[in-house]
Amino acid sequence: MRSGSGGLRLEGVTVHRAGVPVVRDVGFAAPRGEVTVLLGPNGAGKTTLLEAVSGVLPVASGTVWLEDVDVTALLPEERVGHGLAHVEQGRTVFAELTVEENLRVATAGPVEEVYHLFPELERRRRLPAGRLSGGEQQMLVIGRALLMEPTMLMVDEISLGLAPVVVRRLVPVVRVLARRGVGVLMVEQFATIALRVADRAVVLDRGEVVYEGEPAGLERRVDLLHGAYLGRRGGAASSREGTP
């Protein structure tokens, strides 16, 4: 199961913010065809790590591999050329443009694939995107990323501000993508929902990996799941939510 299957691989990655190492010596793989969920408390360094992978932030030391190519020194747009798509935290739609126009911004090709995945968007294709619900707007944001036909998709907290019932509809879409061979690296505050769709889990705390392995193994680590790690924001809701 471990790499060899392309996707994303990190080796000893350290990233600084304002001269301070906020991601330290991080190494893990997020292979093609699998969903890897990245968890951790506020300020753990999850967004910073994703930004270093996409090239928005420089890596201080270590190596980022995409499809077995060392992309550590490449520009963000060059990494896109290597199949990487990054849905950044807080990414929004173009509110004035229609749903369809939002999708057309991403591609000159057909957009039906997105409507197939999210029929609610097809019904609203001529509406200004600003009139969609929060969940539908996030579907549109994901749809736009998909139209770039990535081999590796990173998604940073798409569920921010959404109700659990919406998150339960939205998050499992990544399974469909994984089945098509896309590698997914997903940062998610709704830990229980995310772990249910994940093939592997990584927990970051204060910039360091404190857990890497099967989601089921993490469910047994009550200290990580319900303790300081995931309990600071939306954590209570996410641990309560979906608990059998």
Ligand X SMILES: Nc1ncnc2c1ncn2[C@@H]1O[C@H](COP(=O)(O)OP(=O)(O)OP(=O)(O)O)[C@@H](O)[C@H]1O
131 phi, psi to nearest 5 deg: -95, 0
Q: What's the CA gap between 48 and 155, in Å, rounded?
A: 13
Q: What's the CA gap between 2 and 178, in Å, rounded?
A: 16
User: Least distance in Å: CB of 47 to Mg ion?
Assistant: 3
Decide whether 42 or 133 has the Cβ nearer to ligand X: 42
Decide whether 111 or 193 has the Cβ nearer to Mg ion: 193
Q: Where does residue 68 rank: exposed (0-12), middle (13-18), buried (19+ CB within 10 A)?
A: exposed
User: Binding of Mg ion at residue 47 (CB under 5 A)?
Assistant: yes
Applying CB under 6 A, the residues found at the interface with ligand X are: 17-18, 22, 40, 42-48, 89
Decide whether 56 or 74 has the Cβ nearer to ligand X: 56
∠ Cα 93 132 129 (to 5°): 40
User: Least distance in Å: CB of 51 to ligand X?
Assistant: 8
User: Least distance in Å: CB of 156 to Mg ion?
Assistant: 6
Q: What's the CA gap between 47 and 108, in Å, rounded?
A: 30
Contact string 85-124 vs Mg ion (x = CB under 5 A): ----x-----------------------------------
DSSP structure class, residue 128: B
Nearest to 137 by CA among 121, 123, 149, 153: 121
Decide whether 46 or 124 has the Cβ nearer to Mg ion: 46
Q: Which residue has the tokens 């996030």?
A: 138
User: Binding of Mg ion at residue 159 (CB under 5 A)?
Assistant: no
User: Least distance in Å: CB of 104 to ligand X?
Assistant: 30
Q: Report what 18 binds from Mg ion, ligand X, none; CB cut-off 5-8 Å by kind.
A: ligand X
